[in-house]
Structure 1
């Protein structure tokens, strides 16, 4: 991509977006402005397709369904590639991705590589679906604000043939926690095993490490030990209705940013002697999932090596 400051898109909410209570409109406006900015930078003439541009870019869409689900199902049947002595509980390629994330959790959250690590992790997952499972599309994403008031109606989790399974069966519990236990979420109508949809009766083999749902215990044999159990789910609109509105997103931005700054500042004070800063030359490792790359190769999704994608 060219680096012309005069052509850069400035992402500011429009008046219409501010007035609506639908946060999806605000997010959609940002996306449209970003796309328009890229088009201005690219110019009206096509550049060489040897690199990555809007003319040969991979496009990630809002949840493409059946083909994606079939590929995930295949990933769940393919054998694991991780070292069995390190992760004895892994049985499938899907387990490999779970294991890599568990193994690096403490070094990829609250650190300078949090965005780029997860970006490469998802790229590796997308590559596995395409190269190993016959998937011809690209990694879809979940547009959070769809069906905000009633997530059980979302085709992503409604239990239909197009979904990743529905809500879990009713299981009496006292709710769940998020944010290191600081956010209390009341129990929904599920909590038990997912028994409908394409991923019904799916077996989870490793973990859990720190379960958020009351009544669910961590793996007693260790985080990587074989611990077969069902996929559980308790869908809830509690956090969506409470916080995910356009008004809330706009009004709390400053306070949210200050809280993030407070946390970062406190961590900096406690980091004594200080650890070094994250730099573009730092290595991002995916183990058996993908080749090592540096943060610098993951900052821009249009850099072409290894990333070349946009969202629509």
Structure 2
């Protein structure tokens, strides 16, 4: 994106943070802004949209719905950008997403002493970075988060929220990791999920992109959240960090590439209806509803397979 395009995107995101929330206060009393509506529905749906059959398509729809809100409610004329994980892996602080300039999504958090983060269902230790506290530079320096944290991976959070009814205003925190990009954002891992052994079937891709935690493999999805660190490490309320949508746009881009390369597997689903089937449920089907709350109408998984289907999606990636 050009710098003027980045500024236009940032302006729209900040606009969404000024508009009043639309979510029903009976379940989302902590949601104060339209941006919070997206945080709230993600928190509310967390155990039904991760580690299961809805993961890939629900988040595809989520990012698209967010882009529509930026356009229709805040006058944004551009497109949803993605964060190319594989750029700036040698120095993540130089990433245009996190360099702290006025065209970034803010820099690192202020230094906050903590014992790193626990990722991969709290089985993989991530060393602490130089931050951990409030974002200290860039357009989102003074951003207020209202919902969460509920289950943060970064250690040191003390004021936890219960759910979306628990209003908990605080600053947006980050602890940018230099360790993760060098460890998991590798060419080998990219090739594995697109043309390698981790790409052969939908199940292979679904497992590999999310991570093989017992093997100590974080996976590209979790790696993105823990590269941002801080609030982004919370499985429930990670949406508080605006980098969430660039991260998940990149995840969707990889999914889109994989679908293009594997047409026989492209329209399949893997998993049940719950997070890692901890609450045992049946296998998901392509007719499962995708609940977006006030952020969009309810579509089915099958409606999200084709990004050029026009009902509702109509986009490609470059």
| TM-score of the superposed pair, with normalisation by structure 2 | 0.71
Q: 2:290 aligns with which of 279, 284, 308?
A: 284
Give the equivalent residue in structure 2 for 1:208.
Answer: 149
CA distance in 1, matches of 2:62, 2:272: 29
State whether residues 169 and 192 of structure 1, in contact with CA within 8 Å, keep that contact through their aligned partners in structure 2: yes
1:299 pairs with 2:309:
no
Q: 2:314 aligns with which of 285, 304, 308?
A: 308
Q: 1:162 aligns with which of 103, 106, 110?
A: 103
Give the equivalent residue in structure 1 for 2:167.
Answer: 226
| Alpha carbons of structure 1 residues 184 and 310: separation in structure 2 relative to 1, 3 Å | same
Unaligned runs of 5+ in 2: 215-269
1:121 pairs with 2:62:
yes
| Alpha carbons of structure 1 residues 222 and 280: separation in structure 2 relative to 1, 3 Å | closer
CA distance in 1, matches of 2:64, 2:272: 33
CA distance in 2, matches of 1:265, 1:295: 13
| Alpha carbons of structure 1 residues 179 and 62: separation in structure 2 relative to 1, 3 Å | farther
Comparing 233-242 and 92-101, the one that deviates more: 233-242
Shift of 1:248: 5.1
User: Bigger radius of gyration, 1 or 2?
Assistant: 1
Give the equivalent residue in structure 2 for 1:192.
Answer: 133
1:111 pairs with 2:117:
no
Q: Following superposition of structure 1 onto structure 2, how do residues 1-312 of structure 1 map, counting pairs within 5 Å?
A: 64-217=5-158, 219-247=160-188, 249-250=190-191, 254=197, 257=204, 260=207, 275-312=281-318
- Number of residue pairs the alignment of both structures matches: 251
| Alpha carbons of structure 1 residues 215 and 83: separation in structure 2 relative to 1, 3 Å | same
Question: Between Structure 1 and Structure 2, which shows a larger proportion of helix residues?
Answer: 2
CA distance in 1, matches of 2:301, 2:78: 26
Q: Alignment RMSD, CA only?
A: 3.1
| TM-score of the superposed pair, with normalisation by structure 1 | 0.73
3-state SS, counterpart of residue 198 of structure 1: coil
State whether residues 219 and 225 of structure 1, in contact with CA within 8 Å, keep that contact through their aligned partners in structure 2: no
State whether residues 148 and 162 of structure 2, in contact with CA within 8 Å, keep that contact through their aligned partners in structure 1: no
| Alpha carbons of structure 1 residues 69 and 255: separation in structure 2 relative to 1, 3 Å | closer
| Alpha carbons of structure 1 residues 278 and 220: separation in structure 2 relative to 1, 3 Å | closer
Deviation string 1:42-95 (CA, Å, 9 cap, x unpaired) is xxxxxxxxxxxxxxxxxxx79951110000000010000001121111110010
